A and B are shown apart, each in its own frame.
Chain A
Amino acid sequence: MKCTEQGMSVLIFVRLDCKGGQARLFTLLGNVKAYSTATSERKKFYQDVSISQGDDGLFEISLDRRKLKTPGGKLFTVPNEALAIAVATEWDAQKDTLKFYTMHMTTLCNTVLDNPTFRDKDQIITAALKFLETDTVCYRVEEPPGLVELQKNEWDPVLDWIEKRYNVVIGSSCNIMGPEIPEETKETFRQHLGSYNFWALTGLEYVITQLKSVVLSFGLIDRHLTVEQAVLLSRLEEEYQIQRWGSVEWAHDYDMYELRARTAAGALFVHLSSESSTVKRKLLQD
């Protein structure tokens, strides 16, 4: 009951502050009590985690007997069972304290449900494509020779693959301005991104911002690369430096596992969210 009231207050404030985007954001943030910040921890307040399917076909998560809500106060619902189980497993895996920074699937679902930045599909696509102009695999170094060769050997095959797969021109450059990417290329990717639903698109943009590369993200989502391969290619220069100067566990490995976890969560999120739409299509045909 308390949570429903919280949700209502969000809606009312949003309507009142329609003019100032920033004011709306603060109103929403003010209502975020259940999760607090990403790095803080909260005592575990439940024993059992279960999932159930509502009347509208969406899946809900229950902690003991209470329904899980989003930080914005909405009922937490996901479109399919696999996603629900992945989220439930995250809640079930928490020991004495809730570590929200380890619950990437929950975070992604919350982002879609609350949409805290009030973006629509076009805005997300534009934000995602911005990474193409400064794509990691398009920027090459001129020295040291070892790294030049490594970048050529590791990045060129992925670049070739995406140019063939989408029939586009991207190219690479040693210049600080990067390669000139033709408008047609951006238009092709824009149309391709438009074919994803809002859930999958949110996940895809998350992967792109993690890997700092549209090329590698498409490679991962189109199943040309595994998560481990995509992360390795994204961190190629760092890996080269590690080989040369040695690995520092609490910095290099720490970053790598975090990046792998986030990227894997994003990729899984895209695949599970797009799967549900194909299942729906099949049901309609019957």
Chain B
Amino acid sequence: MAAMTSPLRVCRGILKEIRALKGREYKQTLAYNYVLDQFRKNQVSSERYCRAQEEALHTSQSYLCLLASTRLHLALHNLYHGKGERAPEQVAGMVGLRLPTQPGGKGWEK
């Protein structure tokens, strides 16, 4: 069986992601209320094996992964791919190198 993290952690993770998307008014969103509602409904008092709860937990883990991965992917996209072509100096800088400078400074060949 897939490794399960606790429902509370997943729930808080999803709510955190919604806050990252919507800022302060995140409690007014459809997703916030729905997710909280679902987690409350699926709480069971006994520790008996509960298939439905496990399924719901897996689905919520997938949703958390979707939200987090989309956010991180977009962040990397904006950082590295969102700005079009870069200048040679910038490209060199990205891998920690510097382009060689002209020996006599700019326009030395005159």
Q: Please give the residue numbers on chain A whose beta carbons come within 8 Å of chain B beta carbons, in ascending order.
A: 49-51, 81-82, 85-86, 88-89, 92-93, 99, 102, 104-105, 223-229, 249-250, 253-254, 257-258, 260-261, 264-265, 267-268, 271-272
Contact = CB atoms under 8 A, between A and B. Distances in A.
A86 B80 contact: no
Interface in B40-80: 54-55, 58-59, 61-63, 65-66, 69-70, 72-74, 76-77, 79-80
A228 B69 CA distance: 10
B4 to A, nearest CB: 8
Contacts of B21: 89, 92-93
A39 to B, nearest CB: 10
B2 interface: yes
Contact of B80 (A223, A225, A250): A250
Interface string B6-50: 000000000000100110000001110010001000000000000
Which DSSP category, helix, strand, loop or mixed, fits chain A's interface?
Answer: helix
B76 A254 contact: yes
A104 B3 contact: no
B1 interface: yes
Contacts of A51: 30
Contacts of B94: 250
Interface of B: 1-3, 18, 21-22, 29-31, 34, 38, 54-55, 58-59, 61-63, 65-66, 69-70, 72-74, 76-77, 79-81, 94
A50 B58 CA distance: 26
B2 A268 contact: no
A226 B3 CA distance: 7
24 contacts: A51-B30, A86-B31, A88-B30, A89-B29, A92-B22, A92-B29, A92-B30, A102-B74, A104-B70, A223-B1, A224-B1, A224-B2, A226-B58, A250-B76, A250-B94, A253-B76, A254-B81, A257-B69, A257-B76, A260-B69, A261-B69, A261-B73, A264-B69, A271-B58
